């Protein structure tokens, strides 16, 4: 079907997009100043309104990608140049339908070191459900999460710039989305993996309060740890003695070399409790009222770890450090409780087997805690278990649910990760995506054809089991609720 051009006048400027197949696309919209030159490692800066028409027909740049498994990226034709200039978002709008459409703000995953909003096509969500979907790019890895707070003024937000970028994008959406037909009072943030961790993190970010009304987190971990400081490691690498000399080296490096340095030093980057951007975990934000108004839909896939574990098990010392860190997150303590449980449960297991098991427990524990807290102290939480049957050797692995809630079922273009495009899976994809949209529309996921789904809470801890025969199950986690620090 041929494309036609369409223009929208918004407060930030006039945007020229394209309309095709029942939706209008506005691509590569810059939502903050380019984080290059003197703006490297600095908080995102707003842009003044533009007088000239802005071309929004092609994807903008995306952050350097070093973190997505090949099995997953094979599904996509990822557009947009990799680089440091990456603060762009994309807007997908139904051509017809009602005014004041619900807005769904998608935050991509990729372990905070990979991925892009450009690779996710929400055409079916938009066209079938009369919603607007926004996808966003944000700084990753060393560009987005290098803690330089000790260097003083200007670097206060450096440990969580990727999250600060998301907040800047949400501010842009709040200020401009009504011009595209969206309801700026009905915005749902949703994400998978690092995107889901971002959802939880945004609930604990004071600057994000009021910028979204609902949240959905697919396979995410809570942000619980303080920011790590790698400045001394970098000083040793550069053979310099002062923080100022280290910063000078970092600022002078070409972007590609800086990305390579991240890989060479094998540094971990991700969201953290930095006290500036993220001040407390999601559960505490719900309890203290900061996120009490936000209903949450969350859960995990049955075999999360089969995709992730091989990448975290290669080096024994690093793997043990990862296991201990994940154990602390699962038990919300020093890690000893879960560590003891794991080694009693799997005394003879290999590192790969343990890591596979631990990743599931990380995502599961976070989902149960946040949803239960939301039900008891906030606007309500719902938990799902994604267990759709598959013959793939990885099972129902991490990210297996993405094609279902995006409803990637176009004729001739059906995309499924570890599931076949069977009639049963196509029907379930439509039902699950409509369920997620129902939640985005009114804060309740019921009414799209799946079993009546109650809040997750201490009465019976009921979850929705998503399979070819979906059902409500009571406390499928049993005694693990104590290990997960849910009870």
What are the chain's domains?
19-46+56-294 (3.40.50.1820), 299-487 (3.40.50.1820)
H or E element that contains 25: strand 23-30
CA angle at 31 for the pair 28 and 37, rounded to the nearest 5°: 95
Pick the closest to residue 450 from 265, 465, 84, 477 (CA basis). Answer: 465
3-class SS of residue 221: coil
Spatial CB neighbours of 210, under 8 Å, sequence gap ≥ 6: none
Instruction: Count other C-beta atoms under 10 Å from residue 238's C-beta.
Output: 15
3-class SS of residue 212: coil
Give the C-alpha separation, 63 to 66, whole Å. Answer: 9
Give the model's pLDDT for residue 78.
84
Give the C-alpha separation, 105 to 22, whole Å. Answer: 20
Give the C-alpha separation, 82 to 80, whole Å. Answer: 7
Dmax (CA) of the chain: 66
Give the C-alpha separation, 217 to 196, whole Å. Answer: 4
**DSSP, res 379:** S
Beta bridge partners of 463: 473
Give the model's pLDDT for residue 1.
55
Q: pLDDT (tens digit, 0 to 9) for every residue of the chain, 487 residues total?
A: 567 999 999 999 999 999 988 899 999 999 999 999 999 999 999 999 888 999 999 999 999 988 666 766 677 778 898 999 999 999 999 998 788 999 999 999 999 999 999 999 999 999 999 999 999 999 999 999 999 999 989 999 999 999 999 999 999 999 999 999 999 999 999 999 999 999 999 999 999 999 999 999 999 999 999 999 999 999 999 999 999 999 999 999 999 999 999 989 988 899 999 999 999 999 999 999 999 999 999 999 999 999 999 888 888 888 888 888 999 999 988 888 898 899 899 999 999 999 999 999 999 999 999 999 999 999 999 999 999 999 999 999 999 999 999 999 876 667 788 999 899 999 999 999 999 999 999 999 999 999 999 999 998 999 999 999 999 999 999 999 999 999 8
Phi/psi-derived region of residue 411, left when phi > 0, alpha when psi is between -120 and 50, beta in every other case: beta
Contact 432, 450 (CB under 8 A): yes
Give the model's pLDDT for residue 263.
87
Spatial CB neighbours of 84, under 8 Å, sequence gap ≥ 6: 34, 35, 36, 40, 63, 64, 143, 255
Pick the closest to residue 197 from 296, 109, 114, 69 (CA basis). Answer: 109
Sign of CA dihedral 463, 126, 191, 176: negative
DSSP line for 64-123: ------HHHHTT----S-BSS---EEEEEEESSS-SSEEEEEEE--STTTS--GGG---H
Contact 243, 231 (CB under 8 A): yes
Tokens representing residue 376 in the block: 């008891």
Alpha helices in 332-398 (DSSP H): 336-345, 351-377
Helices (runs of H) and strands (runs of E) counted in the chain: 16, 13
Give the C-alpha separation, 382 to 455, whole Å. Answer: 5
Pick the closest to residue 368 from 386, 381, 355 (CA basis). Answer: 381
Q: Which residue has the tokens 């990637």?
A: 408
Give the C-alpha separation, 323 to 197, whole Å. Answer: 18
pTM: 0.96
Give the C-alpha separation, 63 to 61, whole Å. Answer: 7
Spatial CB neighbours of 316, under 8 Å, sequence gap ≥ 6: 351
Give the model's pLDDT for residue 67.
64
Beta bridge partners of 9: 14
* C-alpha dist (Å) from residue 153 to 35, 72, 192, 231, 359: 17, 40, 33, 16, 37
Give the model's pLDDT for residue 69.
67
Pick the closest to residue 148 from 69, 3, 40 (CA basis). Answer: 40
Instruction: Tell me the catalytic residues.
Output: 193, 304, 398
Spatial CB neighbours of 121, under 8 Å, sequence gap ≥ 6: 406, 408
Give the model's pLDDT for residue 147.
97
């Amino acid at each position: 079907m041929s494309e036609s051009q369409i223009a929208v006048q918004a407060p930030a400027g006039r945007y020229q997009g394209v309309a095709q197949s029942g939706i209008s696309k506005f691509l590569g919209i810059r939502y903050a100043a380019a984080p290059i030159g003197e703006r490297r490692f600095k908080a995102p800066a707003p842009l003044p309104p533009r007088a000239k028409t802005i071309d929004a027909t092609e994807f903008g740049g995306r952050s350097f990608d070093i973190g997505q498994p090949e099995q997953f990226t094979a599904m996509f034709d990822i557009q947009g140049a990799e680089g440091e200039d990456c603060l762009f978002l994309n807007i997908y709008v139904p051509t017809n339908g009602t005014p004041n459409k619900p807005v769904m703000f998608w935050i991509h995953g990729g372990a905070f070191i990979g991925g892009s909003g450009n690779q996710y096509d929400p055409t079916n969500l938009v066209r079938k459900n009369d919603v607007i979907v926004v996808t966003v790019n944000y700084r990753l890895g060393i560009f987005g999460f290098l803690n330089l707070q000790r260097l003083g003024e200007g670097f206060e937000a450096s440990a969580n710039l990727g999250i600060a970028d998301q907040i800047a994008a949400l501010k842009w959406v709040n200020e401009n989305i009504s011009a595209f037909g969206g309801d700026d009072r009905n915005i749902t943030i949703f994400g998978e993996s690092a995107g889901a961790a971002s959802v939880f993190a945004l609930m604990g970010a004071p600057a994000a309060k009021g910028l979204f009304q609902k949240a959905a987190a697919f396979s995410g971990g809570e942000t619980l740890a303080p920011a790590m400081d790698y400045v001394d490691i970098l000083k040793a690498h550069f053979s310099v003695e002062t923080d100022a000399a280290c910063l000078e080296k970092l600022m002078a490096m070409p972007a590609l070399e800086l990305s390579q340095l991240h890989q060479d030093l094998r540094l971990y980057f991700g969201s953290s409790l930095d006290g500036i951007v993220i001040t407390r975990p999601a559960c505490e934000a719900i309890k203290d009222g900061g996120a009490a108004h936000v209903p949450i839909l969350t859960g995990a896939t049955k075999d999360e770890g089969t995709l992730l574990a091989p990448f975290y098990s290669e080096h024994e010392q690093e793997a043990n450090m990862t296991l201990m860190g994940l154990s602390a997150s699962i038990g919300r303590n020093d890690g000893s409780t879960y560590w003891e449980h794991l080694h009693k449960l799997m005394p003879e297991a290999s590192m790969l087997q343990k890591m596979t098991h631990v990743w599931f427990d990380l995502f599961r524990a976070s989902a149960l805690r946040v949803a239960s807290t939301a039900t008891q102290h906030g606007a309500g939480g719902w938990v799902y278990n994604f267990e759709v049957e598959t013959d793939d050797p990885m099972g129902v692995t991490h990210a297996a649910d993405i094609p279902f809630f995006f409803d990637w079922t176009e004729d001739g273009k059906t995309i499924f990760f570890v599931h076949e495009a069977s009639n049963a899976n196509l029907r379930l994809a439509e039902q699950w995506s409509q369920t997620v949209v129902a939640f985005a529309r009114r804060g309740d996921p019921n009414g799209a054809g799946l079993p009546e789904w109650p809040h997750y809470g201490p009465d019976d801890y009921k979850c929705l089991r998503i399979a070819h025969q979906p059902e409500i199950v009571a406390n499928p986690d049993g005694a693990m609720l104590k290990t997960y620090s849910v009870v």
